[in-house]
Amino acid sequence: SGAAYTTTRSSWPDGSERYADAPGGPPLSGTLQPTAERGVHDSAGFSQWHALLYLPALAPLPLLPEDLQASYGLIALLSLLFHWLLDRHARQSATAKAAMEALRADIHRLQRSLGESNDYIRQSEYTFKLEERNRLSQDIHDKIGHSMTGALIQMEAAKRLQAKDPERSAELLGNAIAISKEGIESIRLVLRDMKPLAEQLGLNRLRLFIDEFAATHEGLRVALTFEGDVGRIEQLHWQIIHRNVTEALTNAAKYARATTVSVHIEVLNTMVKAGVSDNGVGASKIVKGLGIAGMEERAASANGKVIVDGSAGFSVTTLLPCGKA
């Protein structure tokens, strides 16, 4: 884990060069250990060795009858060729084994790195939760706790002075009421800071889904744009928009043969418009299957509608009513 690596270079029999990891520097992922470092001879070494092997095989040739010399020479040559092919196969097997070992080492290294990254993410999430709990605890103690304690003291004093000094008791009771109102307002502010805005939940969730969708569909570019006051979009509308956009993107990836899909959210005066359009083949005749029917039903549940157009690419537009700005 803490070892250093360096990259070494060796020439292979085919004239190419290979790089491999060795102690002393950073690892080079996806490389093969050179066969020269694994005890495999280079091409020059093989040629010399086979020449030396072939010469003794030809020694008995002058002692043979002339009619057998050609056959013997051919058999010796074929034997040498067979031996060379066998040796070449052994070299290729060694190369493949070296590649497998290098890949296995890379996989092990990546798995270890992935495990360390996952541990770091889990630790970061846990640390963030602890910090958030500590912040909330501090806010409750500093703001709400002090207010409630002050109100309680004022009410206890007002109770004791109720018979002896009604005016002073009423004054303390008024102070306690004012402090209690401040405490309730502090609670509201703390809860407001804890709860994300509706547009953050809806828009960020949609953006995250589109990023994941684009990453899993190679060759398809998906862009998200929006305009207007997205804070006016209600949570129910965000749910309908998210599900309709999901259905439209899925259909575009399956049938449109498109390279680009645009998702545009626009908040108008009395309506929210969510459009999904692609640059695919389109459709001269729209056949409403279960997917489009489902989108229409979801929009109708919020008094909205869906418009489908296949004249220039394919587009699905969801229109949902919203209150005036």
Q: Mind giving me the DSSP string for 211-229?
A: HHHHHHSTT-EEEEEEES-
Greatest distance between any 2 Cα atoms in the chain:
146
Q: Are 60 and 72 in contact (CB under 8 A)?
A: yes
Q: What is the mean pLDDT of the chain?
A: 79
CATH, domain range 198-321 = 3.30.565.10
Amino acid at 246: T
Residue burial 204-233, b: 16+ Cβ < 10 Å; e: rest: eebeebbeebbeebeebebebebeeebebb
Each domain of the chain, given as residue ranges in start order, spans: 5-122, 132-194, 198-321
Checking DSSP bridges between strand 221-227 and strand 260-267, what pairing results, if any? parallel
pLDDT tens, the chain, 325 aa long: 344 334 444 444 444 444 444 444 444 444 434 433 444 444 444 556 666 666 777 777 788 888 887 888 788 788 888 888 888 899 899 999 999 999 999 999 998 888 888 888 888 888 877 887 787 778 777 777 777 888 888 888 888 888 888 888 888 888 888 888 888 887 777 776 666 555 556 888 899 899 999 988 988 999 999 999 888 888 889 999 999 999 999 999 988 889 999 999 999 999 999 999 999 998 888 888 888 999 999 999 999 999 999 988 999 999 999 876 6
> 26, exposed or middle or buried, with CB in 10 Å at 0-12, 13-18, 19+?
exposed
pLDDT for 249: 94
pLDDT for 3: 40
Handedness of CA 289, 295, 300, 301 (dihedral sign): positive
**How far apart are alpha carbons 325 and 315 in whole angstroms?**
27
DSSP letter at 105 equals: H
**How far apart are alpha carbons 1 and 115 in whole angstroms?**
13
pLDDT for 317: 95
Q: Are 277 and 262 in contact (CB under 8 A)?
A: yes
pLDDT for 315: 94
Distances in whole angstroms, Cα of residue 101 to Cα of each of 91, 97, 293? 15, 6, 54
H helices of 28-165, in order, are: 43-57, 66-139, 146-161
Number of Cβ within a 10 Å radius of residue 322: 18
Handedness of CA 267, 272, 278, 284 (dihedral sign): negative
Give per-residue pLDDT as tens, 121-145: 888 888 877 887 787 778 777 777 7
pLDDT for 140: 76
Number of Cβ within a 10 Å radius of residue 166: 11
pLDDT for 194: 65
